[in-house]
A and B are shown apart, each in its own frame.
Chain A
Amino acid sequence: MYKFYCTFFLSLNFFFSQEPISKQATLIETISSSEVMVESVGIYYGKGKKNRHKRKDIKKNGLINALADARKSCIYFILFGSNDPLLASDEIVLKYKNHKDFFFSSSNVSRYITYEDSKIIKKVTIDNGTGLKVTKRFKVNKKYLLNDLEEKEILISNQKLSKMLGNPFILVLPSVKKGLSPILALSADKYLKHSATVIESYLTSRNFDVVVSEQVEVIENLNNAQASLGDQGEDLAYQLALSIGSDIYFQFSGKFEDGSYGTNKYSITIRVFETTTGRLLGSETGYSKSRKAEKMLNIEEAINDAIDKVITKVINYWNLDLQNGIQYKTIIQISSEFDNEEIEEIQFSLMDAMDNMVNESKENIITDETMDYVIWCDPIKYNKTSKVYRTLKSNFNKKSNLGTLKKININRKILLLKIDND
């Protein structure tokens, strides 16, 4: 009896499932921060006992149903398909399953689809005329879909994230040769400047906070502090991101290539780094179509092609990081006036002080003179960087009598501290 019920309900689920049959689609173009053009395939199999009946059903209902399936397929593609689907983790998919019919109801599908070609790209009868396959292009408003996913609490909304963590601060910089200044490159090259503007515009439209730096001087302090670490010393972008206090920084590099018939196309690589660790969060390439002239347009088209995929990675990263708290890079310089024993005691005290206040911590480098940590703090308890500093200082003072913890520079991403032998 149990088996019967199981089979019955499974069959019901199969017949009344709102998900598409075909699930085939291709991303054609990211038109804007909220809209994508998708080419999708819809399939419908005729109903009836005999082939004759199925063929008759195809003639009567085939196109309407196959097109409905194509519409659903393009929504399905945005949810699950492509390199960076909206529903990326098992946990999210599990949440989605309770609401899947909502997303594939015809009213919602029509709402998500903001444009549909009046013509079909291809219509082919399959399975000896008992099935129909159609291919068509649709423009989907991803923003509507995202809003619904957030409303159903399948995804966490940016606004919610910002309430808890604050919006991620993002810095956008071009990739330059070692030792060269990305800021200077931006002001010298109009195409780089345009690229940065397009990326920044895209990010702001998706509710990210974009920080803009046009001064190189701000990183001087950091330069000195990191001199002893020896790593990434020449990566000015990294240093700039740290000094400005961005959570994430985008680095891009692009170039024009000659296309056919005297045209040229732009290709761009966008790489996204976690500021505190310099960890690569994602990397994507984008290409424009080949055109004569219209270079600025090509740049924007190539960026549109790449950035949408990277953004999903940023959101996923931010979602995951939320669980640990706010991230800070903490660099503590220890005065050389201490002897080895004293240094060790100071370092242990500092470790204990940190452990008492952070959700999680990660050691990067510990030398006799410098300690490099990444710490995650409770965003409610420590909603300002100064609070983190104050607590760390007080904890350290409780643990150690040696030296005094002082700040060199603090911002929303970095605590640059020193311990002096006063």
Chain B
Amino acid sequence: MLYSQQGNYVRKSISSPRTILISTNSIKNLDFDYKSFERFLNFYIEVPRFDQNKLPEKVNQNFEKKAKLINNYDSINISRLLNKTIISEILEILNDPDIQKSRLKNFRNESQFYSFADTKGKSLNLNSEELKSMMNSAYIYIPYISSARSHTNRQRIVTQDTILKYRKGVKIEKVKYDTLEVVNKYLVEINGGIIWYRLNIDENGKTKINMIENITASSSSHYNPNDYNSRKKYRRFYFGNDSWRTSPEQYIQNDAMLSFCKELGLRTKKIEDFQLSAQIIEANKRTYGIDIGRAEGLNLDDGFYIYDLEEDINGNEIEQKIGYARVIKTGNNLENPNDLSYIKQIMGPIVAEGSYIREHTKLGLSLDVQIGRSSDVWIKPKHTSLTFADIDQNIIEKDVKNISTFAIGLSYNIAAIINLTQSYIKLEFGLGFPHGQKVSDDFGNGKMYILSPYLNLKKRFGSRLFNGIQLGAGFDNLFISDSTEIYDYAFNIFSTNFKVENEIGFYINPELVIIFSSHYKTNIYPLSVNLSLHDKNYKNNNSYLFNDFYLGGISINIGMIYEIKNIGTNIFGRLDPLKVY
């Protein structure tokens, strides 16, 4: 009797005819980069939790040839096509004794390794129940693109030409104005999905294909062709340790493709049949041992819900969600099958061995929003002195010591890259509004704000209630600008800062965290002080004035962190292949 220990993950085998179904007219203004698309698709779909059934090239070509004859790619037409072209090949693979032997352990439970057949019999063949399980765990996926196109946004700009003419030896300057249309945005949008089929093979070898899910995704990416650096910036696309030369257009297309395939991969992992699960086989307080690991593509900080079964009064077994845990050590079961992975429960009551876990798939990206208040900022009127532009006035009249802050950040979990749990790289964009500033009358109602882009490294310690330390480096830009009858100005002080942040957070649920943080920011020195006055630029080189200029200080914040499910664009995707732990 083939039995299943609760929570046992049975590996599935997947096949694909390596053909992307694209309807006529679905690609517009785009030289579709099939090679890169396939590269991303392989990375995000053919993940270690699956066994791959490699189909011969001849079979793939046959599928592709016949697929081109189909006008309408609906699930029925595709399943007919699959039946005609690749099913017999998959059957052959599944019946291959060598492949069966190599997959044997996936379909055997623990005690079966101690059975007569395995011990004395040294059997290397699957029995009928194991074969049934294997034959019915084969899946086929067909990627398709419903639309892939590029757009350009154009902007009409005014150009001026100075024409020099000489009339009777006298130089005459004449300014000629014209308008010109330039492309200021090149955008690539990709829409499509993957249709997942399950191959059912009955005991007499009869096959049936059932569509189990049609997952869709869409993504986009863009760049500004007017950007002087764009050719340099987009000349090479990086994906993990891999990179290839690109034009800016191809780069943007690859960027959108990566995001598209990443989303498909995430949604594939969410399909119930494909979700990783395991039974807790070791329990020590809130740390549990599980027997899935690198062989299944488990990574540090992956999340799992914990379940238990409960029998109701009618004797029905009901699944109860008990808590939530994340991976703190990934077992290397590729080299040592007995190397367990460990998870730490961060939510719910402590459970014991026998409880089981199921994957909570996530992107590994989180968005955090914080508001707060910074004190000890020193912005004195003298710092806004415009003497360097021959104006003997300060823009502000009163000292600014406090600012209100608003920050939005995007954190990417790098635990699986650096082998350190709860480690993040965070891009942060802060906005500060000084309190009680008074702008001199001549400078109108000049709006004063501080823009602060930062790059942070963050490490958390703890469980549901956690403590985090963050180190960041970035810039703080103080802006004051207005246009009055007297002055049409834009003043800014640009400084480099470092910060150390301490946070205390609490998981409301696995996707939402409330945090309280305080950081200490120190600025090195103003890098530059600039003024744009009536279209003329001035630079203040009197650095001695800024000895007591300080955009740092202590800040107290409160905020929320939300686990992002879908972003539609590529951020940090190039780091995904580096996740090995």
Residues of A at the B interface (CB closer than 8 Å) are 28-32, 37, 39, 59, 62-63, 115, 117-129, 133-134, 137, 139, 259-263, 265, 289-294, 297, 300-301, 304
Contacts and interface: CB of A to CB of B under 8 A. Distances in A.
Question: Interface on chain B toward A: helix, strand, loop, or mixed SS?
Answer: loop
Interface string B115-137: 11101110101111101100100
A21 B1 CA distance: 26
Contacts of A122: 5-6, 309, 354
Contact of A123 (B8, B116, B354): B354
Nearest to B95: A262
Given A28-B1, A117-B5, A262-B205, A124 B310 contact: yes
Interface in B285-326: 291, 308-311, 313, 317
A294 B127 CA distance: 10
Interface of B: 1, 3-6, 8, 95, 97, 109-111, 114-117, 119-121, 123, 125-129, 131-132, 135, 201, 203-205, 279, 281, 291, 308-311, 313, 317, 349-350, 352-355
Contact of A120 (B5, B115, B291): B5
17 contacts: A29-B115, A31-B119, A37-B111, A37-B114, A63-B354, A122-B5, A124-B311, A125-B309, A126-B310, A129-B310, A260-B203, A265-B128, A289-B128, A289-B129, A290-B127, A297-B123, A301-B121
A127 B312 CA distance: 8
A260 B204 contact: yes
Given A123-B354, A304-B116, 8 more contacts: A32-B120, A63-B352, A63-B353, A121-B3, A122-B309, A124-B311, A262-B95, A294-B125
Contacts of A127: 311
A122 B132 CA distance: 22
Given A120-B6, A260-B132, A263-B128, A294 B121 contact: yes
Contacts of B201: 261
Contacts of A260: 128, 131-132, 203-204
Contacts of B311: 124-127, 133
Nearest to B338: A118
Given A29-B116, A262-B205, A291 B310 contact: no
Nearest to A118: B281
Nearest to B289: A118
A191 B240 CA distance: 59
Contacts of B120: 31-32, 300
Contacts of B128: 259-261, 263, 265, 289-291
Nearest to B6: A122
A127 to B, nearest CB: 8
Given A260-B203, A263-B127, A124 B309 contact: yes
A184 to B, nearest CB: 29
Nearest to B127: A289
Nearest to A139: B114
A305 to B, nearest CB: 9
A95 to B, nearest CB: 32
The 8 closest A-B pairs by CB, nearest first: A260-B203, A123-B354, A290-B128, A120-B354, A289-B127, A297-B121, A63-B352, A137-B111
A120 B308 CA distance: 12
Contact of B5 (A62, A121, A292): A121
A37 B5 CA distance: 16
B117 A301 contact: yes
A297 to B, nearest CB: 4
Contacts, number: 128
B352 A117 contact: no
B111 A117 contact: yes
A61 to B, nearest CB: 10
A261 B130 CA distance: 10
B357 to A, nearest CB: 13
Contacts of A261: 128, 131-132, 135, 201, 203, 205
Contact of B355 (A37, A123, A128, A262): A123
Contacts of A63: 352-354
Nearest to A261: B131
Contacts of B317: 124
B279 A119 contact: yes
A118 B8 CA distance: 12
A301 to B, nearest CB: 6
A139 B112 CA distance: 11
Nearest to B318: A124
Contacts of B111: 28, 37, 115, 117, 137, 139
Contacts of B131: 260-261, 263
Nearest to A259: B128
A297 B127 CA distance: 12
Nearest to B204: A260
Nearest to B283: A63
Contacts of B350: 59
A115 B116 CA distance: 13
B123 A291 contact: yes
Contacts of A117: 5, 109-111
Contacts of A125: 308-311
A290 B97 CA distance: 15
A127 B315 CA distance: 10
A415 B332 CA distance: 71
A48 B313 CA distance: 21
B132 A123 contact: no
Nearest to A125: B310
A292 B115 CA distance: 17
A143 to B, nearest CB: 16
A292 B121 contact: no
Nearest to A62: B352
Nearest to B135: A261
Contacts of B310: 124-126, 129
A297 B117 contact: yes
B529 to A, nearest CB: 65
A148 B110 CA distance: 29
Nearest to A290: B128
B6 A37 contact: no
A108 B62 CA distance: 65
A259 B115 CA distance: 20
Contacts of B3: 39, 121
Contacts of B313: 128
Contacts of B291: 119
B116 A31 contact: yes
B125 A123 contact: no
Contacts of B1: 28
B116 A292 contact: no
A65 to B, nearest CB: 11
Contacts of B119: 31
Residue of A120, A262, A301 with highest tally of chain B CB at under 10 A: A120
Contacts of A119: 5, 8, 109-110, 279, 281, 291, 354
Contacts of B116: 29-32, 300-301, 304
A118 to B, nearest CB: 5
B200 to A, nearest CB: 13
